[in-house]
Structure 1
Amino acid sequence: MTNDAYSTLRVSSEHGVARIVLDNPPVNALGTTMMRELWTVLTGIKDDPSVRVIVFSSADPEFFIAHVDMHVGEEMDVLQELAASAPADVNVFQAIGELIRHQPQVTIVKLAGKARGGGAEFVAAADMTFAAVETAGLGQIEALMGIIPGGGGTQYLRDRVGRNRALEVILTADLFDAETAASYGWINRALPADELDEYVDRVARNIAALPDGVIEAAKHSLPADDFKEGLLRENHAWASTFSLPTAQHLINKGLQEGAQTPAGERDLEGLMRSVARSLPDGHMTHH
């Protein structure tokens, strides 16, 4: 695995552990290039017996994946190309989550910074997530953009936290701290930031060192649930909201106001709530 092949990922492997560092400045938005490169690297190591665990982390301590690139709608040609290689019955965003969920290796997210929208969906698709208490945050911010999660988030959340908390996460669109996320079952556990690297390294190395056949047997016994019907419902609901003028207005205005810049992303919820308040009457209720 050479890094020369990737512009948004840094990939290395040793002792059965592949490390994939997400590196797409300025805020690690999940754009079409990163989606394609994740697809390439994950399908490439799927059948590699020397890789037993995959650890995902970020080159940016503040942002794991900010969210799906808000400019992605302008790249329909690339999206269609990606969709052509995706499995039937899932959209191009769901395909990334499903790829991670069905990876034969154990997938672990090391979450030091924020993961919103498609970033939070990525986290929920992985087998395990360990997060830094002081700095990590998770949120499905889509509702503030006039849409709902469209990359598997509704299904993964319900599986992780239950329907009541899934609705809370989606409809409050708040940023959840690591301790709350852990108490909900959204992630495995929250750890002090200065212990995160060492802890994840130990877990990854110990799992990778298990006797032959154990990882496969465990993943076979605990298969990734089949969300086929739910993903179809989610895609239909997402597409019906995404096509509305309100969503386009909110996304475009959010970008104008600083979304996808480090400053704007630090409190994206506040930024998007102020954008929503600026909508003409009739588009969104004022409080």
Structure 2
Amino acid sequence: MSDLYSTLRVGVDNGVAQIVLDNPPVNALSVTMMRELRTVLDALRHDPATKVIVFSSANPEIFIAHVDMHVVEQMEELQAMAAQAPAGANVFQAVGELLRHQPQVTIVKLAGKARGGGAEFVAAADMTFAAAETAGLGQIEALMGIVPSGGATQYLRQRMGRNRALEILLTGDLFDAPTAAAYGWINRAVPSAELDSYVERVAHSIAALPEGVVAGMKSVLPPEDLTEGFAREESAWGALISRPETQQLMADAVAKGAQTVDGERDLEGLMRSLTR
């Protein structure tokens, strides 16, 4: 199955699908990765034998860096994907909506950092378990001169309340796994050495439940309709992304090392250095 994808490694065993995100150098959420995620999730949607999907990263430092900063250069392909997005969602929000409406239980195993679109991916999944010592989450968009456009404003408010959502969105800070768990962003922080075994136990325990239990549980806990909030988010993002100063800030970020391994280690510091 993995041979079908260039940014994913996919395998299924005993009711659990393992999807490893593998888009070097920093696992940016590119047009190709978004398209391949749609393809694999659509395929799994029609597989009644698969009960759980676990997402992890081939890069131990980075789960998903953020949306690829070069994505606007692929407007024709973006427009084609937007035409396939669910009603009321843009192409970036559609990634999270795929996760939220997947019939399987979706679990993120977070060993490294997830920022921007990567953090939105985490917030859209049913569950996330993160390495206490090494994982981190951040919505970096404010430091780029924009607001999130992949659902973060709605997911975070729903998960933790307006006050904490505003803290995360306006500071642009990187939050460690214990804090993210305390805020309700993720399920729990687990010692790094135990993360693999913990997630494996949870995933296979769920997959082994009697037939109909997973579907029944997801039917009584459906995802909320966030369409109105998505529209507000899209409108605010569109007004900011088109500004020349925003475009310059993003270009300067790439020139200074954003989307390189070294630059992504302290992306917050890099972005702040450009606005001082």
TM-score range, shorter chain: over 0.9
SS of match in other structure, 1:138: strand
What whole-Å deviation, never above 9, does each CA across 1:174-218 have from its counterpart, x for those lacking one?
Answer: 000000000000000001100000000000000000001111111
After the TM superposition, which residues 195-214 of structure 1 pair with which residues of structure 2 at under 5 Å, given as runs?
195-214=194-213
Aligned length: 276
Shift of 1:87: 1.7
What whole-Å deviation, never above 9, does each CA across 1:218-265 have from its counterpart, x for those lacking one?
Answer: 111111111010111111111111111121111100000000000000
Match in the other structure for 1:46: 45
After the TM superposition, which residues 9-24 of structure 1 pair with which residues of structure 2 at under 5 Å, given as runs?
9-24=8-23
Normalised by the size of structure 2, how large is the TM-score? 0.99
After the TM superposition, which residues 60-209 of structure 1 pair with which residues of structure 2 at under 5 Å, given as runs?
60-209=59-208
CA–CA distance in 2 between the matches of 1:88 and 1:214?
A: 29
The runs of 5 or more residues in structure 2 that have no matched partner are none
Normalised by the size of structure 1, how large is the TM-score? 0.95
Query: What is the root-mean-square deviation in Å for CA atoms of aligned residues?
Result: 0.6
Match in the other structure for 2:236: 237
Structure 1 residue runs of 4+, over 4 Å off? none
SS of match in other structure, 1:45: helix
Shift of 1:276: 1.6
What whole-Å deviation, never above 9, does each CA across 1:104-140 have from its counterpart, x for those lacking one?
Answer: 0000000000000000000000000000011100000
Match in the other structure for 1:282: none
CA–CA distance in 1 between the matches of 2:225 and 2:46?
A: 21
Question: Is 1:247 matched with 2:254?
Answer: no
CA–CA distance in 2 between the matches of 1:88 and 1:161?
A: 26
Deviates more, 1:213-222 or 1:20-29: 213-222
Shift of 1:88: 2.3
CA–CA distance in 1 between the matches of 2:47 and 2:245?
A: 46
The runs of 5 or more residues in structure 1 that have no matched partner are 278-287
SS of match in other structure, 2:129: strand
CA–CA distance in 1 between the matches of 2:130 and 2:137?
A: 10
Equivalent AA in structure 2 for residue 161 of structure 1: M
